[in-house]
Structure 1
Amino acid sequence: MSMFQPIKPAKQPRIGLYTVGLEAYWSQFPGLRERLLEYNAFIERRMSAWGIVRNYGLADTEGSARRAGEWFNAENVDLVFCHAATYTTSSAVLPVHQINKAPVVFLNLQPAARLNYERSTTGEWLAHCGACPVPEFSNALGRAGIPFRVVNGLLGLDYTPSVSLTDESTHERPEAIRAWKEIEEWVNAAGVTRTMRHSRFGFLGNTYSGMLDMYSDFTMMQAQTGLHVEVLEMCDLDRLLRGVTAEETKAKRDQVYDMFQISGDSPSDPIAKKPTEEQMEWSCKVAVAQEKLVREYDLDALTYYYHGAPGGAYEKLQGGGIVGHSLLTAQGIPCAGEGDLKTAVAMKVCDILGTGGSFSEIVVADYIDGTILLGHDGPFHIAISQGKPILRGMGLYHGKQGTGVSVEAKVRSGSITTLNLTQTAEGRLKWIVSEGMSTEGPIMRIGNTQTPVKFRTHPDEYMARWFAEAPTHHCAMSVGRNASVFEKIAVLMNVDCVTL
């Protein structure tokens, strides 16, 4: 559906790549240099599926390493892969990363699963000995105080080069599949960090009063993630609301009916009823204004809350926001309630990766099924919904002022990963990551999103471990097993990460 087209697509990462070798080898072993560059070109082609690759080619001396570092600076890369193709001295590697400060990952990708021991020559061996110099690289970067990571495995060619003396078609071997999954995660993680550094997060209204875990230092947030916080007022939204036309409201209403199922009265909860015509019209009009706000201020995400004076115009305005915020979330602009900027960041990370990112908190534990229900009164990410989300009219928002329309939905069954962004006593951001399974268990019909999740341990043990990490009480729920890529994002952002 057209409404799922992102308003602002994520940035493609700019990935640096270079291959290393020893200059002295080229005259001693004819064809070795060209063979290693063929491997280099293969790696570039594979990586290009996920980002913009800036391939320096071969660094084989201290001088070429310095030139590579300057070149990567000029190319403004987010991450550099050093392909350890054969032995070389660490003096052909360290200068690259002293000059260019992007994070570095060494690629120890052996071309063949096994050498042909009977026929191999020294030149043949040198085309396969990429692991040999990696300890030396690690030592040099470690002593220089430069962090690094290593991907080990097979190169994954789907053919054997004509000069090879052994079988190099390894793309179906688990060592190649695993290595390329890691590489893809590193590239995707770099896409998250680049997008964040170019993002504008709207902060509309204020933080729910008294929620001490929600409060965020905007400068600290920019310093550690690169995003800009644009502080917005309710009068900005109200100004745009006044210009909304009947035609725009009708078009938005068509979107809403396409995206949602409109409920009848809840069979159990007297405050959750079929939305009234007035509630639907108002929510759709507010949704038009919300999208105008995002476009006018060039936002990539939004966090919001405003209690307003009882019976006042702004109370009514914020009460109509959940539908529009769910629509925006479906269009790549994650929206987090209660002024929770940290969870808006977590939701944006999930959205950039294409894994959803729905606003959640603990709803209740089910000790019979061994699950914990996670959800909230909105908004919801339609991309990970099990069926059409339901709209219910709310006679009141529990714990908040006002009435309006809320979303009742669950995340589709299967693997899920929660991402919680919290802040330590030292002012540092920290990820808390959990993998589990969304189940087919029942949910309440009260106008809230709810997903029963079975984590790897008993609910009590899981909650004890989570609470011990001093989390915020909200988190983003994504689909799939994403702990590994979340951990890589934390590395690139220099943020602590705990996986439960």
Structure 2
Amino acid sequence: MKVRIGLYSAGLNTYWGQFDGLYDCLMGYNKFIQRELEAYGEVFNFGMVDTEENGREAGEFFNRNNVDIVFSHSATYYTSATVLPIHQLNQAPVIVLNLQPAPEMNYEKTGTDRWLAQCVACPIPEIANAFNRAGIKYRAINGLLGLDYTPDFSFAEENTKDRPEAIKAWKEIGEWCKAAMVKRSLSHARFGFLGGYYSGMLDMYSDFTMLQAQTGMHIEVLEMCDLELYLRQVREEEIQEKLKEIHEFFQISGDSPSDPIAKKPTEEQLTWSAKVAVAQEKMVEDKNLDSISYYYHGQDNYYEEIQSGFIVGHSLLTAKGVACSGEGDIKTALAMKIADLLGTGGSFCEIVAADFNRDTMILGHDGPFHFKISKGKPILRGMGVYHGKRGSGVSVEAKVKQGPVTTIGITQKVNEKLHMNISEGEAIDAPILMNGNTSTHIKFADKPAEYMDKWFAEAPTHHLALSVGHNKELFKKVADIMDISYSVF
């Protein structure tokens, strides 16, 4: 879903009649920022705010256009009274851009007019104080503007697009835009909850009203009979097409050399998984779902047979952007959806074990896997039994590609508020079990015992989402913009 971005530049109207060319130069900067922001979403540019009156007009302009985030460009000095009304009227998160056009001024030639185009940091303390006293949360990005040209008005070199101060600033701007996109997308998202929780997993249990209140997502409560209805509609040609897709995505295993319950999947198991996958996809499309959390146990009934085919179809759906989490863990489905929206994967995980010889934590699960983080084709294994659960079926065994990874876990604390746990590490190539479960060795900054000391202190759930890349700063901004507390370790 496209983010709706608000933009304005702030200045002081007294200057325009005093210094020829200043206003046009500053509006050139404004148009440059608009052009760069358009890479992230739809931009609603008010232009120059230079009086209290048009500050109020800008606030109403952003309200009419339902913006998700507003970038406040400090173009020159301006009074705080000019821009405060904007953010009293409009409640979207505000990011103040303190982006100097030139690395240094041309000290021999620069007069007051050219200096005013460079003194962009001057009003920031004033606006920070005013925002703080008005109870308006603000964030500031400091650095260089990153122009790819030098305006005629300038006496200094302003082509700074390759300067680290510009690259860092625009990386932050992009991250804020992506974070706002996540918030907008979740406020329009429909999360399916199929079946129930794994009985006794108290960390899984969530208040659906609380989840909608804090994220905006709608939760559609589903029953196994809903899925069974779609299963009855599946045609033979759809099964064959899905089997073809399964063979393209997965490697079909032989018997595990180490675990007697992990076997080569039978043709019957694969065909059943394909049929269930078709029904899952039909349900997702018909009910317009963006995510599914699921779990079911019964007494050797047909619904339990349906569940035996869940993992393959849910992995295929996860690869298509429909985050699927097992054991009824809707909070981890939320973490997976956030990672997926940001293009970083998001695979269902828990602690498998620690390897104290390699100083790694092994993370994985027998549930849905996100192909974006896979090293090679995931393997399908037939399971004679699911550990700790009723039933049998086909499971996914995979290893995460080597390189930087970030875990994101969403939990709920004693205050009933959501909390995000974030941790960066490196996935390394090391042996894994051949038991039908995804598992990967991850080396974090701390050794395993010290890492777990910090992790467990944050009251986590025992599941989390695993993403590729170092995404700490991105996930922090998502938490910030959604008003969710977070910890980084």
Pick the TM interval, shorter chain. Answer: over 0.9
Q: What letter matches 2:230 in structure 1? A: L
Aligned counterpart, 2:412: 423
How far off its partner does 1:330 sit?
0.6
Q: What letter matches 2:488 in structure 1? A: T
Aligned counterpart, 2:448: 459
Q: Deviations over 1:221-257 (max 9, x none)?
A: 0000000000000000001101101000000111000
Q: Which of 245, 267, 290 is residue 257 of structure 2 equivalent to? A: 267
Q: Deviations over 1:99-153 (max 9, x none)?
A: 0000100000000000011110100000011100011110111000010000000
Helix, strand or coil at the partner of 2:203 = coil
Aligned counterpart, 2:432: 443
Q: Is 1:48 paired with 2:38? A: yes
Q: Which of 130, 144, 169 is residue 154 of structure 1 equivalent to? A: 144
- Aligned equivalents of 1:486, 1:65: Cα separation in 2: 32
Aligned counterpart, 2:321: 332
Helix, strand or coil at the partner of 1:392 = strand
Aligned counterpart, 2:64: 74
* TM-score (norm: length of structure 1): 0.97
- Aligned equivalents of 1:378, 1:52: Cα separation in 2: 37
Unaligned runs of 5+ in 2: none
Q: Deviations over 1:149-202 (max 9, x none)?
A: 000000001111111100001111110000000000000001100000000000
Q: Which of 390, 398, 420 is residue 387 of structure 2 equivalent to? A: 398
Q: Across the two proteins, how many residue pairs are aligned to each other?
A: 489
- Aligned equivalents of 2:68, 2:144: Cα separation in 1: 24
Aligned counterpart, 1:5: none
Q: Is 1:240 paired with 2:241? A: no
Q: Is 1:413 paired with 2:402? A: yes
**Is 2:22–2:153's contact at 8 Å kept on the other side of the alignment?**
no
- Aligned equivalents of 1:243, 1:301: Cα separation in 2: 22
Q: Which runs of 4+ in 1 moved over 4 A?
A: none
Q: Is 1:142 paired with 2:132? A: yes
How far off its partner does 1:394 sit?
0.2
* TM-score (norm: length of structure 2): 1.00
Q: Is 1:174 paired with 2:161? A: no
Aligned counterpart, 1:199: 189
How far off its partner does 1:411 sit?
1.2
Q: Which of 291, 305, 314 is residue 303 of structure 2 equivalent to? A: 314
- Aligned equivalents of 1:93, 1:195: Cα separation in 2: 28
Q: C-alpha root-mean-square deviation of aligned residues, in Å?
A: 0.5
- 1:209-248 to 2 correspondence within 5 Å? 209-248=199-238
Q: What letter matches 2:226 in structure 1? A: D
Q: Is 1:388 paired with 2:395? A: no
- Aligned equivalents of 2:42, 2:255: Cα separation in 1: 51
How far off its partner does 1:52 sit?
1.0
Aligned counterpart, 2:108: 118
Helix, strand or coil at the partner of 1:235 = helix
- 1:467-482 to 2 correspondence within 5 Å? 467-482=456-471
- Aligned equivalents of 1:450, 1:129: Cα separation in 2: 53
Unaligned runs of 5+ in 1: 1-10
How far off its partner does 1:62 sit?
0.2
Aligned residues: percent identity?
Answer: 61
- Aligned equivalents of 1:469, 1:71: Cα separation in 2: 41
How far off its partner does 1:494 sit?
0.6
